[in-house]
Every structure is written in structure tokens, then in C-alpha cells.
Structure 1
């Protein structure tokens, strides 16, 4: 079971999925391959079809308070504009189209967040990222969906002002603080006003304490789901000491993802869920054979 006993019912879906498959595959922004675009309803369906157990979706808000599934900073790449969607009205956001996906009969607009979440396949948890700036208004909107057992909310562990908003909210959504030190990772695990279901760990290099088996075992012993990132960002920032998708795909899965499994992490976020699913299955076959 992940998280505190008092939140067992809310966290049951995530725990049951982990018990079924082992290491959870978290799909970064959904699966965007071919004509499909990240952070869209289609990418969510594709992520599940590609072997994902959890789907990560990003959030922006319009200037007039509507929420959309989009990762700010990617406007030029995806929409062909330098306009920051966070500076747009909802009407202006809806007028944009994904440039490499829109075609006659399929206009490919930016998806409304609530509509996207409501359409997520049953039983699939969603890792809601980059939403913390708007929690005062977003959390009540999420309440209307009745999905508290399926929505994981994240923010930096150091963002105490944002976490205070989550702590005060009556619906206790599963919370995953983003942590850079073991102290941050342990800070919220037993907070009675937070349903801290797990921790997202960032490791800049091989000297990070998060590459120590005992550090991770200590977190897991306290009921924390340990999530790490294998996706490679366009900024080049290293998210977990070079154990990443590019190394897995261009060198070998054993080299890129193997150390993460060896550490005993509970969830890996990736852009290549189908390959990670196959590697997970191959490791399971070897373990059974042993």
C-alpha cells in the first residue's frame, strides 16, 4: 500500500495497479508518435495502448480562469507561435491548432483539461503536473470530476506556500512532492493533512543520495511510492543521473533503465512506454526463471 493508512481507500487504485504489474510505467505527456500530439485525449489513449499504467498531463490556465492540457514553453514547437498560452484568454487558446497534426476534418485544438480528464480510460491514474500555481481555483474544479482516487498532484517539496493550499483543501488528492534531497523526500510522508502517496526524486549526478539503495528502501518502508524520471527534456537537464530513455533506446534497455529497476523504484516516467513495458516483462521472465 502507498501512503498513510487513513487514505487507503483513495490510494487503493494506484496500489492495486502496482501490485499487479510491478514497476509502474508513467507516460510523459501521453504518447505522441506520428500524427498524435502530447497532452491531448488521443495521446492519453495511445499511452494506455502502449503499455502505460499512469499518464502524465500538464496544465496551463487562461487569463480568464479556464484550464487546458499543455506544457508552457512549447508554443512555438507545437502551435507555431511565440505567444505564451498563460497570457491568453480561453477563446484565444481555443483558436490555436497543433501545426503538425491539424488537417481537414480534424482541427487539433488545445484540449480543455477537465474534458480530457473526464475521458481518461477507466482505471487509469493521471499524474497532473505544473498545476500548482492555480490550485486555489483548480482544486474545486477537479472536485467536480469525482476522480480523487485517480489524480496525482505534484509540486516542488520546497514550495511550502503551494503545499499549504493543498493541505487546506478538503478533498485529499494523492500528492507527490518533487524532491532534491532525502530531507525533502521524508518531510511530508506523515503529514495528516496531506495524502502524500509518494515522492518524485531528482538526481543530478551519480553522487546523489537517491542512488543509494538504503535511502530508497527507507522511503519505501514508510509507504512512499518512489517515482523517478527517465524522459530526456529538450533543456538537457539530467533528471536521474543519466539513467534515461536515450541511453535505453540508443545503447540498451539494461544500461538505461536497468539501474532504476535495480534500485527498486516503484514508478518510472518515460517517453517510450512500449519499450519499457517489454523490458519490464523481460526482467520478470528472468526473475521467474531464476
Structure 2
């Protein structure tokens, strides 16, 4: 019998099909369109500030060039992160993490799936996550990453925050690692769950959540919802919202 509980709708880089990914317009669109959480990527700047961008360089999604780690936050502020997507978004700024905190404070029902890219040093990690705690939104944030080193740092500097491990594969060692890192979620690609449904059962048996990435069509969503995934990270949160409502 299909599972009837709806998964969380998680907007991948915001509502990135209608606005430039990882920008404030994409986050606002996701919030107003019914998403439960926004998923964002954060890189650390040369001066230790969280910059909301997926790639480790600014080349693909801005009019600038070079590694994020070689730029200071003040320099990043002047980049155009919207023109590449559509002329209507010309001049859209590349957000700092503090800007995302402001979005969450405006939209009290919105959660955050925060991916820290790579393995950050302890000090900038501590400073960034202090913004979460100071804003009083610890309970609305799940911090995730692929890097085991990053998860260990999170465990040390912000043990009060919920953590998730992004995975591409799954075996017995995955559950052992999850227990060691103290995570509450193992977040796999949707293809892994579609091809190996027993993986989801094992994640749930371990008492962990599974938020899958990044299915964008009803043909993919249907078996994932029936299987009982906890969240769907998608580029089409607007369509997923409507599809779930009408299902």
C-alpha cells in the first residue's frame, strides 16, 4: 500500500527553474510557492564569510571570474548573479549567508537545508553557524555536506545543530559512519532509491531521515513518495507542490 504522508518539499538552490539559482529571488519564490525548505550551497570567502554559491568559482553564475576562496565578501557583493539566467534578473546580487538568515526571519514557516561545500576550517564554520543560533533558528536548519571532515567539524563546533551526510553510494559502512558522525539524515540521489529501494528501508530502520536529490518530474516523484522518502530536493518545487496537492 502506498505511503500517504507527504514528503517535505525542498527547493534546490531555491526555486531555481524560475529564478537564478542561489539568489534571493529564487529563495523568495520558493517560500511564496509553498516550499517547506530551501536548499542552499555556501562557499567560504577569502576573509571567512559565507558566500551563497554552488561552484568553487564565480565564473558560471556571475559576471566575475576566479575562485570564491580568493575573493573578499565586499568584492563578491558587486557581482551580477542574475544576467546569465535572464535579462529580467540583471544586477541580482550574489547573497551572503546573512541575507539568507534574513529570508528565514521573514518567512517563519520556512526551513533551511544548508550545504557547506568542501571542508571548511573550524573558525569560519563556527562564525557562520553562530548566525543561525543568534537568529534563534537552530530548529529550522539541517546542515549537510559530502565531506566527512566537514561533518566532523560541524559535530565539534555546533553539536546542537541537526546534521546530514550527503551520499552517492550505500553499504554497511555508510550506516556505521552515520552513527559515528551523529547525523540525523542520510541524503542520497533519487536514482539510488529508485534502483535500490531497500536502501531507504535500511536508512529508516537506523532511525534516520532520507531527503533525496534531485528528481524533477512526476514520473520520478510518484515512486519516491510511495516509498516514503522524507523529503524531495527538486529544481521544480512549484510543480511538486501542485502535484502533491492534486495527488
TM-score w.r.t. length of structure 1: 0.71
Unpaired segments ≥5 residues, structure 2: none
Match of residue 214 from structure 1: 198
CA distance in 1 between counterparts of 2:119 and 2:96 reads 17
Match of residue 163 from structure 1: 151
- Within a 5 Å distance, the mapping from 1:246-261 to structure 2 comes to 248=217, 253=218, 255-261=219-225
Whether 1:153 aligns to 2:139 is no
How has the CA–CA distance of structure 1 residues 176 and 109 changed in structure 2, closer, same or farther, with 3 Å as cutoff? same
Whether 1:143 aligns to 2:127 is no
CA distance in 2 between counterparts of 1:152 and 1:211 reads 26
CA distance in 2 between counterparts of 1:176 and 1:184 reads 16
Structure with greater contact order relative to length (CA < 8 Å, sep ≥ 6): 2
Deviations along 1:96-129, one digit per CA (max 9) or x if unpaired, are 122528999x842211112322331113111111
Unpaired segments ≥5 residues, structure 1: 1-19, 231-243, 284-290
CA distance in 2 between counterparts of 1:148 and 1:135 reads 21
CA distance in 2 between counterparts of 1:41 and 1:188 reads 35
CA contact 2:44–2:120 (8 Å) conserved in 1: yes
CA distance in 1 between counterparts of 2:82 and 2:245 reads 36
Please, what is the CA RMSD of the aligned residues? 2.9
CA distance in 1 between counterparts of 2:229 and 2:126 reads 29
Task: Report which stretch shifted further, 53-62 or 111-120.
Answer: 111-120
How has the CA–CA distance of structure 1 residues 24 and 184 changed in structure 2, closer, same or farther, with 3 Å as cutoff? farther
Q: Which has the larger radius of gyration?
A: 1
CA contact 1:202–1:228 (8 Å) conserved in 2: yes
CA distance in 2 between counterparts of 1:33 and 1:162 reads 29
Match of residue 187 from structure 1: 176
2:40 to 51, 57, 64: 57
Deviation at 1:197, TM superposition (A): 1.9
- Within a 5 Å distance, the mapping from 1:1-290 to structure 2 comes to 22-32=6-16, 36-72=19-55, 75-100=58-83, 107-120=91-104, 121-134=107-120, 136=122, 137-146=124-133, 147-156=137-146, 159-179=147-167, 180-191=169-180, 194=182, 196-202=183-189, 208=192, 211-230=195-214, 244-245=215-216, 248=217, 253=218, 255-283=219-247
TM-score w.r.t. length of structure 2: 0.82
Deviations along 1:8-50, one digit per CA (max 9) or x if unpaired, are xxxxxxxxxxxx972111100001355x422122321210222
Deviations along 1:133-153, one digit per CA (max 9) or x if unpaired, are 225122333224322212211
CA contact 1:23–1:265 (8 Å) conserved in 2: yes
CA contact 1:24–1:266 (8 Å) conserved in 2: yes
How has the CA–CA distance of structure 1 residues 209 and 125 changed in structure 2, closer, same or farther, with 3 Å as cutoff? closer
